[in-house]
Structure 1
Amino acid sequence: MKLRIVSCLFFLFFQVSAFANAIDFKGKVIDAKTHETLPGAVISIPDLHVSVATNNKGEFTFRAIPARGRYVVQVQYLSYKTLTQTVDFSSTTPIIFELQSSIIETHEVVITGTPITAGSRYNSTSASVVTKDQLMGSSTNLIDALARAVPGVSQITTSQAISKPVIRGLSYNRVVTLNDGVKQQGQQWGDEHGIEMDQFQAERVEVLRGAASLQYGSDALGGVINVIDPPTPAEGNIKGEVLSNYSTNSGLINTSVMLSGNENGFVWRGRGTYQNAHEFNTPAGYYINSGFNQTNFSGLLGVNKSWGYSHLNFSYFKNNIGFYDSEPGDPLYTNNKSRTIDFPRQDIRHYKLALNNNFIFGSSSLKLDLGYQKNQRRELAETTIPNLFFDLNTYSLDAKYYLPESNGWRPVIGISSSLGHSVNLGEELLIPAYDELSTGAFVYAKKTWDQNTFSAGARFDYIKNKGKAQNNDNGDVVFTGFDNKFANVSAALGFTHVFNDDLSFKANAGSAFRAPNPAELGSNGVHEGTARYEIGNANLSPERSYQADATLEYGSGVVTGSFGLYENYIHDFIYASNTNKEQITVVDEATGLPRAYDAYRYGQVNANLYGFEGNLTLHPVAFIHFENTFSYTHATNESFDRPLPLIPAGVLHNTLRFEPKIKGISDFYISAGIDNYFKQSRIDATFETPADGYTLINAGIGATFKIGSQPLKIYASASNLGNKRYYDALSRLRPGRYSQEDPTYGVYNPGRNITFGFYLPFGTNK
């Protein structure tokens, strides 16, 4: 019956939309001063998921797009300021985009992860965009790449393959990762559970800092990571890419191939990626059994028509990650570099289907995203028979209806819903099998006048978590079960003001909430990946957040930068802690011997987090860029007047980049950088130890060569050139983080690493 209803809805949408008028959107891109044409400029319409490049005459054409409506158009060209402009498609006059020559190319970018797509200066959310070039450096996964590029973003790491995002000090289920319009659901509650996503599939990534519960509901207290796939090529064209790199530290090999096309509005894309690494090297040796391999296949089938688009995205992600189950005093390092992953290890598989639609009805539109995800997480101790095996199936719906603009107001109404069903298939138990129902609705409106933008919205959410009671084979109670219902109303206000072409201001204030997840409510068992005994609390209340932030942004020909302040007060903040050095002894079924584990119980406190973040780039001459980013978070457990745990240390990144013009070579650069991580002494002393500060030296070089008309980018990047011995404050393998029994136990972060790579884009431009 559900399938019949959905089929009827789609049939109705297509019937109504079939009468939509289509136009060819044509134009030209020129230099604002010389009026010379700019061949190769890229024009994108994010809300329609299409892009095209100008021909040799600087001209472009989008065929069969909606004849009505106002859409944000982005125009990019090397050595010119990025232009974002809202265009009324009811006008048939060819448009001329005039770009201004500048050494600043990305001061203004389009943000799509907010309720209404807009240029960053007219969007009150604090946001950064990470480009594909930045994702192809010496990072080992997607979150690692973002933590290196975006102020305010850090990572909780477990070895080289697992990184959990931290935004303004918040992580786990407080940060939403989004791809294909669908929330990533992959057991985010776990300390050593990473993000099951291919870092090379993204064309760019938007990082939204600050609470985003208005659009995304529960779990978006800290922010949103919006992974955006490449737009489909213009009609009649094919686009593709081949990229590969090799890293010396762990022998990491990355290879990714993509091909995409558009024939008469039928669009398609396929990508395959493979990664393989042996143990990573530290200044003390190779950390035992820390290798991993990862396989990812993804694709798209769909149509782009005058009524909008309908795209079916599908992906398969598989990751095998080695762990080292050692006791304090055991050796941590080896001289071997084996790519064979021994036990214990994780076997993770993530399947996803997402149907993304944008139906255009004259001056209004409906965006509808339907998703299905299957996440299987196996933790293997000694054999291929899983000790822990979580099988999570999630169905989701997200719909946003954009009403016609009226008196400058742009209203949006939206609904979202998801249903999660998780079962335990392993021999051991940690969290109960559960069902989770989440549903919500919001209203949002935005008005722009003169150089000001004001936005306001409200949202209602209802969440139901039901954990199933269960006994073990001898009749002892393992899970008592729980049946919790949570409801919340949240609201948000935003304001931006553009003083002139160089200076702008934005501010936000609002409330948000997060419902406790099933692990926090019902855990009772040994978590093999963390070597601790975790105990949930079925009486937890939802977290309620009250936050505000403000940012000042500046960009001229010599100086660009931003500075932001934020504060986030969270009532009933949830976290697991080990108090009074409590331990629970469990008999190992394999050996029959008892083993003591630190006991971590979930509880609640009131928390306050505040800090600042920003960037400053100096351009004394056209070929020199001195880039600096900085961030700091101060977090306090207000209930016990002590610091919160797992808070990143303050960090300052400095990079000097030279971009001289060399005949026959484009995009040539040489860079040198220093990363300064400050001491983190604000720790929860009941189970954390301080982390010393450290400084890392980095470097890079790259250029784009032309083989005929074919561009080929070659690059090399180096991190920790001095082979510094250090422990990052958020590394789960550092002393005092992994085990309290021996405070000297710990694993150094990776030592010197040099990555060599190439990127080969290709395609037609008809």
Structure 2
Amino acid sequence: MKFRLMLSVFVIFIISMVNAQDVEVSGKVLFENRGNPDAEVMLKDTSAKTVVDKNGDFMIKNIVPGNYKLLVRAKGYEEFEKNISVGKKNTFIPNIILTQNSNNIDEIAITGVSRETLIKETPVAMLSISSKQIERTVATNIISSLVKSAPGLSVVETGPNISKPFIRGLGYNRVLTLYDGIRQEGQQWGDEHGIEVAPYIIERAEVIKGPASLMFGSDALAGVVSLFPYTPSQNDGIVHGKVTSEYQGNNNLIGNGMQLGYKKNSLIASLNASYRMAKNYRNAVDGRVYNTNFEEKNFSFLLGRKTNTSFSKINFTLYDNLQGIPDGSRDPATGKFTYQIGEGDDDDLGKRPVVSERNLNSYTLSPLHQRIQHYRLYAQHTQQIGKGDLDVQLGLQQNIRREYNHPTAPSQPGMYVRLNTLNYGIRYNFPKFSSVEISAGINGMVQNNKNKSATDFPIPDYNLSEGGIYTYIKWKYKRLNISGGARYDIRKIGWDDFYIQTNPVTQFEEHAAQASANTRLGFASYNKTFGGLSASIGSAFQLTKQISLKANIGRSYRAPNITEIGSNGLDPGAHIIYKGNRDFNPEFSLQEDLGISTRFKDFSADVSWFNNNIQNYIYLSLLVDSQGNPIVDTQGNKTYQYQQASAQLYGMEAWLSLHPEKWKGFNFETSLSVIYGFNRDKKFKNKETQGEYLPLISPLKLSGNLSQKISVPSKLITSVTPTAEVEFSAAQNRYMGLDNTETATPDCTLFNIGTSVAIHYSENHSATLQFQVNNVFDRAYQSHLSRLKYLGNIYNMGRNISLKLIVPF
């Protein structure tokens, strides 16, 4: 009897133990940037673990109820930890999102390569910038946001919201900007023409530093800035997204952005919108800088379908920016900013009225401003065909730019141009065989530019068509990767005679349909075809698991842009009269690159060197009279003539990150970049500042960033991350001083501090509240690449206190 009783108790105990361990923990892991690496899921301090499947799903069986710490690890991503409570019922953990680790050597790149490729396996200098890096940066535009994470990338600025990317000393039409793989076309030749992309819409970015003409043709001679908008990745049939709201105290910037995304099975849809407005920025010397305020609106919508063998999407975007046009005019007695009230000879710069404090401290733009509207409609399709795949894209863009510079007729644009662009591309990635990958394709564009109801005509109405055919080959043998290819491009550009006449009523100039006794020939007809060969070859060698070596040599081609060959008039927004040269030849560059990358548990580092020789380098030269004085019009606008010569640029970038594994949450990053640029025309040999040094060369830059993530034992606030940053720009004494084109710029050191707070507001989501103070000591300084330095000797932005809230859902 006792034996039966003991046996029954034992059986009940065993059954209860089995039932107790029959609980399952399951969930789904999502990866930032839509990656899909192998991920390991475990319950810390136990033997229970598993791996995710191809959809990111996981399941751990036979778990005893209790409290555990769930740990998720994946190569190239930050570790994820979460305290979970396992009851008697199965536990589901939804939407674990792993963020990309910027210190990892296994980052994925898709720009400038045939397929998704590890950055360590590409021979060119390339880096990826995650959404986390973009979000934690306080800036007034997307290009300036990227600069702090990309040594070698700099910006030429005309106020807070106009930034043009420069890579290793080269910019304008030498740096190609891509939006979701579509080349951005928006009159980027102009000094005051920024990139028509709102910052809140961008999820991540990639930067190629060096020749990229092989994949993209002309205009990628110096490199590529590739911007990727938000695309939904959580396949649960629920609307997800993010709300961003920020305030910047210096120019009273108010910004709000929203991302909405939906994905279920094969259907993908997203909607993005943002609105930003700002007053004139200020500094300790100038006070408020007149006409640097802006108002920016953005909207986009995506609809797509994704299956196991294909991905199709169509996207529409709208960008609308009202932007002040600073000219730097000042009252001779007080030095305060003035504004224009007269036209032509009636405009006496020395007698302009002083801008009132009310107008300086206002969101309302002055009558003299510019409006930029940019529309995109594009479709992309990827189709797996056997073991190969086909990529097709077709895009339409329209850029409308109005620059209002007539105080007596505020509604009359001085410049009014409309640029229509058709982008196309097709690429086939052949099946892999014997460690060899081959891709071949064609891409190009067709453009039509038209001057509308304007009074100033810096460029003619023109038609442009270009196309290129290329092949790209990659061979991998154990730890060695060799890749390269060749491409040939043809660009045809032309226009008819363009006549200009004076309107008898307004006395402004206007376009005339045909020649008459009252017209003048603004642009004589022109037709020319440019062609060029691009090629590259390089290798990446994985010396160890932690160390990668790179070497590359590339030849790039760039056809002269429209303003370099065709300009002949005032650009009101730039306050420059441009003079083109119809006899220009294409630019060709030959660049050598060497690099080394290391990724260890406790530190990471990159070092790269480059040497770039350019034939037929095109640059601007100030025109002067016989006494050496700049040739100006009645408004003081200077005249520049494009010239051509040989040039050489060389330099290096270095980056170091300390992140000790045993010192959780600690990170110290420092970067260094230095560039030298020389005009190799024999007449400038040993002339130094009088023609030998190239313009717009960034000085030596050194930066350091220290941060410490502090976990907080609170259900609401989970962590606090204080940061401290220092930015040093050396003096630039190697400048283009010929005809006072540039002047020397002294060194400058800026200090920034901030704090980031993670707020756990729901079971699966945490908001981020960022407090940042840039230029803590309100240092008055001028960037060597600021155009405002030469428009009234204006200084850069002073102390800027900002607050940003990011709420994902």
State if a TM-score over 0.5 links the two structures: yes
Is the alpha carbon distance of 1:656 and 1:259 closer, same or farther for their aligned partners in structure 2, counting shifts above 3 Å? same
Q: Does 1:282 align with 2:283?
A: yes
Is the alpha carbon distance of 1:487 and 1:667 closer, same or farther for their aligned partners in structure 2, counting shifts above 3 Å? farther
Comparing 225-234 with 314-323, which one deviates more in the overlay?
A: 225-234
- Report deviation, 1:434: 0.6
1:331 corresponding residue in structure 2: 336
Is the alpha carbon distance of 1:267 and 1:53 closer, same or farther for their aligned partners in structure 2, counting shifts above 3 Å? farther
TM-score, normalising length from structure 2?
A: 0.81
1:652 corresponding residue in structure 2: 702
- Report deviation, 1:353: 0.8
- Report deviation, 1:712: 1.1
Is the alpha carbon distance of 1:296 and 1:755 closer, same or farther for their aligned partners in structure 2, counting shifts above 3 Å? same
State the distance in 2 between where 1:567 and 1:583 align. Answer: 34
SS of the counterpart of 2:219?
A: coil
- Report deviation, 1:711: 1.2
Is the alpha carbon distance of 1:312 and 1:53 closer, same or farther for their aligned partners in structure 2, counting shifts above 3 Å? farther
Q: Does 1:449 align with 2:454?
A: no
- Matched residue type, 1:492: S
Q: Does 1:304 align with 2:306?
A: yes
2:271 corresponding residue in structure 1: 270
State the distance in 2 between where 1:476 and 1:716 align. Answer: 58
Is the alpha carbon distance of 1:250 and 1:40 closer, same or farther for their aligned partners in structure 2, counting shifts above 3 Å? farther
State the distance in 1 between where 2:102 and 2:400 align. Answer: 44
- Report deviation, 1:666: 3.9
| Alignment partner of 1:727 out of 771, 778, 782 | 782
State the distance in 2 between where 1:518 and 1:657 align. Answer: 46
Is the alpha carbon distance of 1:557 and 1:74 closer, same or farther for their aligned partners in structure 2, counting shifts above 3 Å? closer
SS of the counterpart of 2:445?
A: strand
State the distance in 2 between where 1:582 and 1:460 align. Answer: 44
Q: Does 1:409 align with 2:436?
A: yes
1:122 corresponding residue in structure 2: 121
Q: Does 1:550 align with 2:587?
A: no
| Alignment partner of 1:717 out of 772, 786, 799 | 772
Q: Residue 38 of structure 1 contacts residue 54 of structure 1 at CA under 8 Å; is this kept in 2?
A: no
| Alignment partner of 2:666 out of 621, 624, 627 | 624
- Report deviation, 1:706: 1.0
| Alignment partner of 2:761 out of 707, 719, 732 | 707
Structure 2 unaligned spans of 5+: 1-23, 44-48, 58-72, 82-96, 338-354, 502-517, 686-691
1:470 corresponding residue in structure 2: 498
State the distance in 2 between where 1:360 and 1:289 align. Answer: 52
- Report deviation, 1:326: 4.6
Q: Does 1:248 align with 2:249?
A: yes
Deviation sequence 1:373-425 (CA, Å, 0-9, x none): 00001001131221101100000111110000111100000100200100001
2:20 corresponding residue in structure 1: none
Aligned ranges 1:146-545 → 2 under 5 Å: 146-237=146-237, 238-284=239-285, 285-327=287-329, 329=332, 331-332=336-337, 335=357, 336-381=360-405, 382=407, 383-425=410-452, 426-473=454-501, 474-545=518-589
- Report deviation, 1:62: 5.3
- Matched residue type, 1:622: K
- Matched residue type, 1:679: A
Deviation sequence 1:79-128 (CA, Å, 0-9, x none): 479xxxxxxxxxxxxxxxxx999997544310010223211111222112
Deviation sequence 1:13-45 (CA, Å, 0-9, x none): xxxxxxxxxxxxxxxxxxxxxxx9996743468
| Alignment partner of 1:42 out of 1, 9, 30 | 30
Aligned ranges 1:572-721 → 2 under 5 Å: 572-580=616-624, 581=628, 583-584=630-631, 586=633, 594-620=634-660, 621-639=663-681, 640-641=684-685, 642-664=692-714, 665-686=717-738, 687-709=741-763, 710-721=765-776
Comparing 369-378 with 283-292, which one deviates more in the overlay?
A: 283-292
Q: Identity of paired residues, percent?
A: 29
- Report deviation, 1:78: 2.8
- Report deviation, 1:76: 5.5
State the distance in 2 between where 1:44 and 1:716 align. Answer: 24
Is the alpha carbon distance of 1:40 and 1:656 closer, same or farther for their aligned partners in structure 2, counting shifts above 3 Å? farther
SS of the counterpart of 1:519?
A: helix
- Report deviation, 1:582: 6.0
Is the alpha carbon distance of 1:301 and 1:64 closer, same or farther for their aligned partners in structure 2, counting shifts above 3 Å? farther
Deviation sequence 1:412-444 (CA, Å, 0-9, x none): 001002001000011221111111111000001
1:86 corresponding residue in structure 2: none
1:5 corresponding residue in structure 2: none
- Matched residue type, 2:362: S
SS of the counterpart of 1:203?
A: strand
SS of the counterpart of 1:129?
A: strand
State the distance in 1 between where 2:712 and 2:613 align. Answer: 52
Is the alpha carbon distance of 1:38 and 1:276 closer, same or farther for their aligned partners in structure 2, counting shifts above 3 Å? farther
State the distance in 2 between where 1:558 and 1:203 align. Answer: 28
- Report deviation, 1:668: 2.7
SS of the counterpart of 2:711?
A: coil
State the distance in 2 between where 1:663 and 1:122 align. Answer: 42
Q: Residue 211 of structure 1 contacts residue 220 of structure 1 at CA under 8 Å; is this kept in 2?
A: yes
SS of the counterpart of 1:388?
A: strand
Larger Rg: 2
- Matched residue type, 1:316: L
- Report deviation, 1:449: 1.2
- Matched residue type, 1:626: F
- Report deviation, 1:617: 1.5
- Report deviation, 1:719: 0.9
How many residues are paired up?
687
Is the alpha carbon distance of 1:248 and 1:55 closer, same or farther for their aligned partners in structure 2, counting shifts above 3 Å? farther
Comparing 236-245 with 200-209, which one deviates more in the overlay?
A: 236-245
SS of the counterpart of 1:755?
A: strand
State the distance in 1 between where 2:591 and 2:560 align. Answer: 19
Is the alpha carbon distance of 1:131 and 1:314 closer, same or farther for their aligned partners in structure 2, counting shifts above 3 Å? same
1:753 corresponding residue in structure 2: 800
SS of the counterpart of 2:364?
A: coil
Q: Residue 622 of structure 2 contacts residue 640 of structure 2 at CA under 8 Å; is this kept in 1?
A: yes
State the distance in 1 between where 2:479 and 2:585 align. Answer: 42
Deviation sequence 1:280-311 (CA, Å, 0-9, x none): 01112110121101000011011112331110
- Matched residue type, 2:388: S
SS of the counterpart of 2:750?
A: strand
1:7 corresponding residue in structure 2: none
Q: Residue 32 of structure 2 contacts residue 98 of structure 2 at CA under 8 Å; is this kept in 1?
A: no
TM-score, normalising length from structure 1?
A: 0.85
Structure 1 unaligned spans of 5+: 1-35, 66-72, 82-98, 587-593, 739-744
State the distance in 2 between where 1:396 and 1:578 align. Answer: 35
SS of the counterpart of 1:200?
A: helix
Backbone CA RMSD of aligned residues: 2.8
SS of the counterpart of 1:196?
A: coil
SS of the counterpart of 2:752?
A: strand
- Report deviation, 1:52: 12
- Matched residue type, 2:533: V
1:32 corresponding residue in structure 2: none
State the distance in 2 between where 1:300 and 1:52 align. Answer: 29
- Report deviation, 1:314: 0.8
State the distance in 1 between where 2:99 and 2:460 align. Answer: 59
Is the alpha carbon distance of 1:289 and 1:733 closer, same or farther for their aligned partners in structure 2, counting shifts above 3 Å? same
Comparing 313-322 with 701-710, which one deviates more in the overlay?
A: 701-710
- Matched residue type, 2:618: I
State the distance in 2 between where 1:376 and 1:62 align. Answer: 45
Deviation sequence 1:521-541 (CA, Å, 0-9, x none): 111111111222111111111
State the distance in 2 between where 1:38 and 1:146 align. Answer: 37
SS of the counterpart of 2:148?
A: helix
